[in-house]
Amino acid sequence: MEPGVLGLLMFVGACGFLLLGFPVALTLAGSALCFGYLGEELGVFRLGMLGVYPMRIFGSMTNEPLVAVPLFVFMGLVLEKSGIAVDLMESLGRLFGRVRGGLGYSVIFVGMLLAASTGIVGATVVMMGVLSLPTMMRVGYSPRLSAGIICASGTLGQIIPPSIVLVILADVLQGANEQAAQINGTMVPEPVTGVDLFAGALLPGLMLVGLYAGWQFIVALIRPQDCPPLADDEVDETLLKRVGVAVVPPLVLIVLVLGSILVGAATPTESAAVGAVGSMVLSLRRRQFGWAALKDVARETTRVSSMVFIILMGASMFSLVFRGFGGDDLVEEFLMGLPGGAFGAMLLVMLVMFLMGFFLDFIEIIFVVVPIVGPILIAMDLNPLWLGVMIGINLQTSFLTPPFGFALFYLRGVAPDSLGTLDIYRGVVPFIVIQIIGLALVWTFPGIATWLPQQLFN
């Protein structure tokens, strides 16, 4: 048997075990070891290659940009547990509630702010589902529209920086960029850092926010009965003061964290540390945030961070064995032989990632798929920064796609029985279309992703 074919069988087998619900890290590492021993018996693989595995793990664990992952997770969880996000939702809901579609606008705006301060999709969708969904349905909002807005706004944390997805993706793309340089014979490639990807994803993320709000505006025009105004509160000085108290502190924190990254004053890791400390300072005035809440935050941060890094260890073993089989050469030959050149290869990769997002989590896709196809696409003269933004938007879309979109499950878990699962599926369809439109815009006009990094970092 050809070693490359055995590598592809390993990939298919790992995906099959993941679909059956086996733990991700153990599935990736276990599949690699089993196929590695099989390859040794068949004489197409040398187990001695696994000797470099400890060095790869050591290199990953000493990689400073990845330290930002637990810090950003901690920052987001503190803002969630302290009630700051709840105040944002309630005050903005009252401010815009008197406008037709105002509750929808407020959910989208709060989703944007939470994306820039927490970056945790599950927590954002659940929180907005608990706080906003009952109010939206009580005042007469269409269940489908309500579900679609909440799910879509909750996934903005995938693409709006600072985002855990972008931190991990930048690290993986940097490795892919170096491998692409080896393929093309370039010894010193242009680096791809988390700072570059943060700057590149900012405008596309804000573009998606505008597209969501545009859809809410269209619905308010053609189906006003689906989004009636909420006429509970008058906009007076007291309400404006409450909105200011709720919005200004987290907004200042966002500007400090993201601004310090974009102006080059701090690295993402340093800014994440500032964000973690800043979120603690904001939580000091909250009575509900005590030692018990802090222990919960620390425990959840440890759990999420451990999950990310153990998947990284399993994926590192998987990619090492896959390359040992020559699977990367087989994929490279296939993609470069597609009609349409780089366009055809990119289209196929985006389609495969979109379909895999129906079943697999974004971390699995980043650690397993991107290291395989990333070097080949970059070697075909695709801008790695633009490629990273496209992958980020695509992975965000996977959170919305029925039947296994994670955002749909998060909302289903907190939604009342009156909101059917089919209503949730139908509600996200317009926003999936919007995501595809966003992908098409960034594909057609790459400057949406590359202009800001060029202006900031020349």
- Render pLDDT for 111-167 as a digit per residue (tens, 0 to 9): 888 777 666 666 678 777 877 788 788 888 888 999 999 989 888 888 888 777 888
| Rg, the chain, Cα only | 23
When mean pLDDT is compared over 139-143, 207-211, 300-304, the highest value belongs to: 207-211
Higher pLDDT, 229 or 449: 449
What is the torsional sign of CA 114, 163, 206, 261? Answer: positive
Cβ atoms of 395 and 431 closer than 8 Å: no
**Sequence-ordered list of residues with C-beta below 8 angstroms from that of 394, at least 6 positions apart, any chain:** 350, 353, 354, 357, 439
Whole-angstrom Cα distance, residue 292 to residue 251?
26
At 284, is the secondary structure helix, strand, or coil?
coil
Task: Compute the average pLDDT of residues 338-351.
Answer: 87
Task: Compute the average pLDDT of residues 85-110.
Answer: 79
When mean pLDDT is compared over 22-31, 43-52, 56-65, 204-213, the highest value belongs to: 204-213
When mean pLDDT is compared over 89-103, 148-162, 186-200, 321-335, the highest value belongs to: 148-162
Q: How confident is the model at residue 369 (pLDDT cuts 50, 70, 90)?
A: confident
Domain count, the chain: 1
Cβ atoms of 262 and 453 closer than 8 Å: no
Return the pLDDT at 218.
Answer: 93
For 28, the domain range is 3-457
Q: What is the mean pLDDT of the chain?
A: 82
What is the torsional sign of CA 350, 354, 356, 360? Answer: positive
Structure tokens at 295: 């222990």
Return the pLDDT at 211.
Answer: 95
CA 109 to chain centre: 18
**Sequence-ordered list of residues with C-beta below 8 angstroms from that of 320, at least 6 positions apart, any chain:** 32, 49, 50, 52, 53, 56
How many residues appear in the chain? 458
253-to-106, 256, 259 alpha-carbon distances in Å: 20, 5, 10
**Residue in the block written with tokens 């878990």:** 413
Cβ atoms of 127 and 80 closer than 8 Å: yes
